[in-house]
Chains A and B, each alone.
Chain A
Amino acid sequence: MKDFRYVGKPITRIDGREKVSGAAIYTDDIDFGPNLLYAEIVSSPLPHARILSIDTAAAEQVEGVVKVFTGRDFPFKFGLYMKDRYIFAQDKVRFVGEQVAAVVARSQQIAKEAAALVKVEYEELPAVLDQMTAVCDECTLVHPELGDYPHVPWFFPKPGTNIAHWRKTRRGDLEQGFAEADHILEENYEVPRYAHCAIETHVAIGKFDHSGRLTVWSSSQSPHTQRHLFAEALAPMGLTHKDIRVIAPHVGGGFGGKAGVTMEIIPAALATKLRGYAVKLRWTREQEFVNTYQRLGVVAKIKLGVKKDGTITALDHKIYWDAGAYVEYGANVVNAVGLSAIGPYRIPNLSIDSICIYTNLPPGGAYRGFGYSEMLFGLESHMTTIAKQIGMDEIEFRRKNAILEGDKTAYGAAMNPNGLIEAIDKVVEAIDWHKDYQNTDPRKAIGKGFAIFWKAPAMPPNASSSAFLKFNEDASINLIISGMDIGQGYQTVMAQIAAEILGVNPAKIRVETPDTDRNPYEWQTVASHITWGSGNAVKRAAIDAREQILDLVERVHHLSRDSLYLEDEAVKCHTQPSFNLPLKSFVVDGIPTEDGSYRGGPINGRGMFMPEFSSATGDPETSQGGHPNVHYTVGAGALILEIDRDTGKMKVLKAAEAIDAGKAINPDLVKGQITGGLLQGLATILYEDMRYDEKGRLLNANFTDYKIPTSLEVPEEIIPIIVEVPQPDGPFGARGIGEHTMLPAAPMIANAVEDALGIRIRSMPITAEKVILTLLQKGKQDA
């Protein structure tokens, strides 16, 4: 493989100094002066109710309160893939925590006290708090008007039910496939909801100035999409995109939770009725838990048929999603998995039903992995189980059935080049899988767990990225793009791509957080697609700049274009080694000629990337045809787990994870995603445990009782492995990996628990408590 100067190197991040010095500005750090107003939300205490009345009189009387707003002020709908959501609840509330009114005041304290004085009268309605109840006949409808909601053409809602979308994927002959099987396994798996727990909560400030211009500062993964949704939602107020500007400062963690639009629309809307003021809304940690996106809950029914030689013949995979009260984003999670729930396997006869079900719980939405973690928990648990049942080594089973380049995906497209086999082999080697991990302590049991994974970006077919690039007088570069560095290192990776093309060190390339007025369009920083999408746009912008430079030098210095190249901030020539024209001498000023006139001028590059082969139009009944996913990223993982037999407490002794990055633009950052993602994945299976009561209230909406890992939870050893089978249409062969690193964690643990203790637990989380209670229960049954 070609060795590059900057690409493929583990360089230090270009945002390091800013973040480590404390200079980095996050949304709540911005000062807006004495005219900043503060909003406090009045939220629903009930999961499902009609709003009979809202009495704001007492709240309005409080000194320092500027105004009190309710749904009547903003009867507008919005939504990314489906318009089912409101800025404030209208006639009904649909989950505990839903915003019903807002008090805007001169201080947060005043707003909070006044909000407590707002009196809302409710008429309680029956609530549906789980998807299996919500999907049955004669059930309370969360959205009786579902039939009227505009949505993207690839969603299939069932009006008159709580089914907001039903993705069906069918290929081959399922009945025949099961008939050919020598062994069939049918099991159900349950995965609850999870919270992102970014350390920075959602926060946004809206300002509507006297010229009628709305600016929103928000902690966001998606400034352009936010602007678009604001424009759509606020169109009835006469606003269009031209009038709306979104500025996205540094983000203190996203994980999908800051994609799309959730609470940000509130201060945006409030501002439009408070001309001249800035209005801030910042979620408390409790609000962050209950009123932002949550990861959807899953009940999965898997029926798998295999031959005795391990060949998979058929898969029937039904997934019922608890998608919450509004599914404008969550329905696409359901869709994405509905197209991919075969996992990274070659399966000739398949049926997938992925059903998005409304419930009276917080809205489900994008969460790192976009449904694949939930799906793979069941599927990879199932694969290990069936391999053992037919007496086959589970690694061999996976190798045998692994999807290869050219094999058909679930919807009939050809699988992209991928290093799945290589990933499996490297993990097996790194973890020393075949070693007999016996231990000397009789109190502990040791188990091994393995899983493979895949994921494709779930995006509309026209998700695009753009880039502007400009040089400064010192040959430094400003890369003007709208992807968000949410921690993954995006800014650095883009700088490395531009650096490689232009011969300028990444340390001299500035990539900063975007402003939708200045920075060209980027769909969203989600889906693990921006290394690929934005990377392609940046590469094109850099090439555009390079072409301008080389054209200019050829024109002025009469050197053949083909002989020129860029290196060390200069234009050099293969055929004339002495030629060295520093970029800084002309990238702004132009090249002076003998007669005193100049040629060229400021070099500004432009690039754009939008896939033109992606299409969401498959057959609604089978999903065949179309090309909804641009490509898949694959990987494998294994871990060695120690379990205390008496307490159930688990410790990951060693974990290895391999991911096929195509080309790791910055290997250190890929490793960072493996370490961080793996721990986040382990947290979902070992510690995080959302508890709702029978009235749909989240009981542990804080870090005291929703446990995310501390530094003491780090596995003893994590071995990150980068596989590189190039993505043909990726920049330098790169494809995305950010979400994927979480995916194998849960099934690895489930498989390791079974290996260690002989118990198969099919629901998450698998806490120490659950292990012991399962063992005790089994003990009673065996007795």
Chain B
Amino acid sequence: MAKLTLYVNKELRSVEVEPRETLLDVLRDKLGLKTPKCGCDRGDCGACAVLIDGKSVRSCLVFAIECEGQQITTLEGISGDKLTDLQEAFIELNSFQCGFCTPGVIITATELLEHNPHPSREEIQEALSGNLCRCTGYTPIIEAILAHTTKEGK
């Protein structure tokens, strides 16, 4: 066991980990963050997406111990005390169904908009292509991101 210290949603956290424990498992089982989900455990579905220092990663393919001192952001951190405008757009346009892929999708969308505030439809599709959604057919998700960026532009 090794001691790991890292920032989770800007809060300094300390936890004991085995090297082989993934960031996903440590976040969920030891640090109480439940929004990153396990969908496949192989990095294929994106449900486990979190941000490490602002970049989206597959937390099931990261060993927690790699993240010493880094900033991890999960959906809990994005929701904070008040949901973001992007999240409000999702709610308003019903851009979800079962909601299981939603945390990963919002993580990915948040990263996209950070460095591309006005993405085209195709750019949104490309950015989201690593987040599998079985329910919505993606269209309402793409629409929410487009609606949000249009609103921002005004």
A and B physically associate: yes
B-contacting residues of A (Cβ < 8 Å)? 12-13, 15-26, 28-29, 31, 196-201, 250-255, 282, 284-285, 485-489, 668-669, 672, 675-680, 702-704, 708-712, 714, 718
Chain B contacts for A488, CB-based, 8 A:
97
Give the CA-CA distance A285 to B99 in the complex, in Å. 18
Q: Which 3 A-B pairs have the closest CB atoms?
A: A252-B100, A19-B99, A487-B97
Name the CB-closest residue of B to A200: B100
| B101 contacts A21, C-beta separation under 8 Å | no
Chain B contacts for A254, CB-based, 8 A:
98
Indicate whether A678 sits within 8 Å of B126 (C-beta atoms), given known contacts A12-B92, A284-B41.
no
Chain A contacts for B45, CB-based, 8 A:
199, 285, 703
Q: Which of B63-71, B83-91, B146-154 contacts A (4 or more CB under 8 A)?
A: B83-91
Q: Choose from A12, A285, A485, A676 the contact partner of B41 (Cβ within 8 Å).
A: A285
The answer to whether B49 has its CB under 8 Å from any CB of chain A is no
| B137 contacts A199, C-beta separation under 8 Å | no
Name the CB-closest residue of A to B40: A285
Indicate whether A19 sits within 8 Å of B102 (C-beta atoms), given known contacts A26-B37, A28-B38, A199-B45.
yes
| B98 contacts A253, C-beta separation under 8 Å | yes
Q: Give the one of B137, B140, B142 with max A CB within 10 A.
A: B137
Give the CA-CA distance A28 to B27 in the complex, in Å. 13
Chain B contacts for A255, CB-based, 8 A:
134
Which residues in window 17-37 of B have CB below 8 A to A? 28, 32, 34-35, 37
Report B133 CB to chain A, min CB distance, Å: 7
- Chain B: how many interface residues by the 8 Å CB criterion? 52
| A20 contacts B141, C-beta separation under 8 Å | no
| B87 contacts A201, C-beta separation under 8 Å | no
| B98 contacts A200, C-beta separation under 8 Å | yes
Chain A contacts for B130, CB-based, 8 A:
710
| A199 contacts B132, C-beta separation under 8 Å | yes
Chain A contacts for B34, CB-based, 8 A:
22, 25, 29
Mark B74-112 against chain A: 1 for CB-CB distance below 8 A, else 0. Answer: 111001000100010011111111111111001000000
Report B129 CB to chain A, min CB distance, Å: 4
The answer to whether B47 has its CB under 8 Å from any CB of chain A is yes
Report B33 CB to chain A, min CB distance, Å: 9
Chain B contacts for A710, CB-based, 8 A:
128-132, 138
In the complex, number of A-B residue pairs with CB atoms less than 8 Å apart: 169
Name the CB-closest residue of A to B32: A31
| A250 contacts B99, C-beta separation under 8 Å | yes
| A197 contacts B134, C-beta separation under 8 Å | yes
Give the CA-CA distance A676 to B134 in the complex, in Å. 7
Give the CA-CA distance A64 to B103 in the complex, in Å. 34
A-contacting residues of B (Cβ < 8 Å)? 28, 32, 34-35, 37-42, 44-45, 47, 74-76, 79, 83, 87, 90-103, 106, 124-126, 128-142
Apart from A22-B74, A26-B37, A26-B100: 4 A-B pairs, beta carbons within 8 A: A253-B135, A487-B98, A703-B44, A711-B141
Give the CA-CA distance A702 to B44 in the complex, in Å. 8
Name the CB-closest residue of B to A17: B91
Q: Choose from A669, A709, A712 the contact partner of B126 (Cβ within 8 Å).
A: A712
| B101 contacts A679, C-beta separation under 8 Å | no
Can you name 19 A-B residue pairings with CB atoms under 8 Å? A12-B94, A19-B102, A20-B87, A22-B75, A24-B99, A26-B37, A26-B100, A28-B37, A198-B134, A252-B37, A284-B41, A285-B40, A487-B96, A489-B97, A675-B140, A680-B137, A711-B141, A712-B129, A718-B139
Chain B contacts for A485, CB-based, 8 A:
98
Name the CB-closest residue of B to A682: B137
Report A219 CB to chain B, min CB distance, Å: 10
Chain B contacts for A284, CB-based, 8 A:
41
Chain A contacts for B128, CB-based, 8 A:
710-711
Q: Choose from A20, A197, A200, A714 the contact partner of B91 (Cβ within 8 Å).
A: A20
Give the CA-CA distance A20 to B87 in the complex, in Å. 6
Give the CA-CA distance A702 to B134 in the complex, in Å. 15
Chain B contacts for A489, CB-based, 8 A:
94, 97
| A669 contacts B94, C-beta separation under 8 Å | yes
| A711 contacts B129, C-beta separation under 8 Å | yes
Chain A contacts for B139, CB-based, 8 A:
675, 714, 718
Chain A contacts for B96, CB-based, 8 A:
13, 16, 19-20, 487
Name the CB-closest residue of A to B21: A109
Report B43 CB to chain A, min CB distance, Å: 9
| B134 contacts A704, C-beta separation under 8 Å | no
Give the CA-CA distance A128 to B39 in the complex, in Å. 32
Chain A contacts for B97, CB-based, 8 A:
253, 487-489, 672, 676
| A16 contacts B39, C-beta separation under 8 Å | no
